Structure 1
Amino acid sequence: MAGTSNQSVGRAFRIVDELAENGGGSVSELADRLEMPVSTVHDYLQALVETGYVTVTDKEYQTTTRFLEVGHRQRHRLEVFKAVRDELETVAEETGEHATLMIEEADQAVILTVQEGPDAINLFAYPGARMPLHATAPGKAMLAHMADDRVDELIAQHGLVAVTSRTITDPEILFEQLEQIRRQGYAIDEGERIAGMVCIAAPILDKSDRIRGAICVCGPQSRIDESRRNEIADVAKRAANVTQVNLDYV
């Protein structure tokens, strides 16, 4: 019985993910893409419409903003989100670039909130966006403060997928970088997720030295030279430290 229920939930979320990924679709389109019977897809869609998570217009199904409501509520329950307060806005203003707060969830780096400085370019980054931990500065900043056994498990389960030609795909090189990140207090991603972009991230630790997230600044490689990287790293580390202090009072 439990197996059947799990399969049903899994199918429902496969349909939701497909709708979200493609911006909608008809029953037959979804059935083709998911390789599921039309009748099965139709039944699931009807149930999702009844719950308010999917809407239908002229036989075209789409997800609703109900998911946004759920995510928004969950985000505001997270202590690290509350602890950031005005820090991320300050980071964006001081650097002029794109600033994000990211956490680790389900073995991925997830954006919780975004602030854009006056010179920030549009990265199409939004709360809830997920990406591989090893291919991002904030992800590597968080990995650096996990036990080596945990990192080994993540590599064994998910691999080190190449997002760009500069993504780290060698575990030995990754562990060398994680050691360096621990020493210097910040991580750098040089086009490892987005070609031509440099991202610098500082880890957020609580009073028990448990990793809670990372503050990240991203900008075009042409604008972030070596000297500017040090300045941005200092800003990110300061903001992460203030957030760490705030965590004690959330």
Structure 2
Amino acid sequence: MPDTQNRSVTRSFRIVDALSKRNGTGVSELSSAVDLPVSTVHDHLQALRSTGHVVKEGTEYRISTRFLELGHRDRRQREIYTAVADELSTAAEETGEQATLIVEEGGDGVLLAVAEGEQAVDLPAYPGARVPLYANAGGKAILAHVSPERLDELLDRQAFEPITKRTTTDRDVLLEQLDTARERGYAIDRGERIVGFVCVAVPVLDRGDTVRGSICVCGPESRMGAARREEILSTIRRVANITQVNMDYV
């Protein structure tokens, strides 16, 4: 019975995941996407409708806003999210670029909060988006400050697939980059995840020097020269420090 229950739950989440990638879809199309019989998919959809997690519009299904509610509730319960408060928006305002709060979850980087400055380019970034830790500055800032044992665990879970021509796909090269990031206190990526964009990030550490996340700012390469990066780093270091103080003492 437990194996059957586990398989059923796994199938439901496969269906939910497939639905989330489509702007409404029918049972047959969904059946092909998840490689399950139409009857099985239909049964799972009806169960998900009964709990309010899936809605039906005409002949098409989509996930409901219940997932938005759950994600928002979870986010507000995270200490680092409440600690960063308005500071992330301040960072975006001062830099003019996109600023994000990134945490590690399940071996991925997760954008917990996103703020846009006046000059920010519309990038594929939104709360809850998952990004590979090895291919962006925010992820590298986190990896550079985890314990050696945890680092091995996290790197074992990375795909090291080339997202762009500049993506670091060699584990040894990445380890060298992490050593450098640890020494200078910030990480950088130059078009490793998004072509033409440079991102810089600093870790958010708690009072015990445990990394809790990172603050990252990304902008077009044309606006991210050395002098500009130093200005941005000054801003996000301040944001990270305030976040740490809020977590430790407020």
Q: Normalising by structure 1, what TM-score?
A: 0.97
For 1:138, the equivalent position in structure 2 comes to 138
Deviations 1:150-186 (A, max 9, x none): 2222222333221111111111111111111111111
**Alpha-carbon RMSD:** 1.0
Deviations 1:47-76 (A, max 9, x none): 011110100011100011100000000000
Q: Does the 8 Å CA contact 1:185/1:237 hold for their aligned counterparts?
A: no
Q: Secondary structure at 1:216's aligned position in 2? A: strand
Q: 1: CA distance between counterparts of 2:157 and 2:204? A: 25
Structure 2 residue 107 is matched with structure 1 residue 107: yes
Superposition map of 1:70-219 within 5 A: 70-219=70-219
Quick one: distance in 2 between partners of 1:152 and 1:242?
A: 30
Q: Structure 1 residue 245 and structure 2 residue 249: aligned? A: no
Unpaired runs of 5+ residues, structure 1, are none
> 1:125 Cα deviation (Å)?
1.1
Q: What secondary structure sits across from 1:128 in the alignment? A: coil
Long gaps (5+) in structure 2 = none
SS of the residue aligned with 2:223?
coil
Aligned residues: 250
Matching residue's letter, 2:173: I
CA distance in 2, matches of 1:243, 1:33: 42
Identity %: 55
Distance, in Å, in 2 between the alignment partners of 1:159 and 1:63 is 28
**CA deviation vs aligned residue, 1:13-57 (integer Å, no higher than 9, x gap):** 000000101222101111111111000000000001111010001
Q: Distance in 2 between matches of 1:3 and 1:177?
A: 43
Q: Which amino acid aligns with 1:20?
A: S
Taking the aligned partners of 2:160 and 2:153, their CA distance within structure 1 comes to 12
Amino acid at match of 1:174: L
Q: TM-score, normalised by structure 2?
A: 0.97
Match for residue 15 of structure 1?
15
Cα distance in 1 between the residues matched to 2:48 and 2:148:
41
Q: Distance in 2 between matches of 1:183 and 1:68?
A: 39
Return 204-213 or 229-238, whichever deviates more. Answer: 229-238
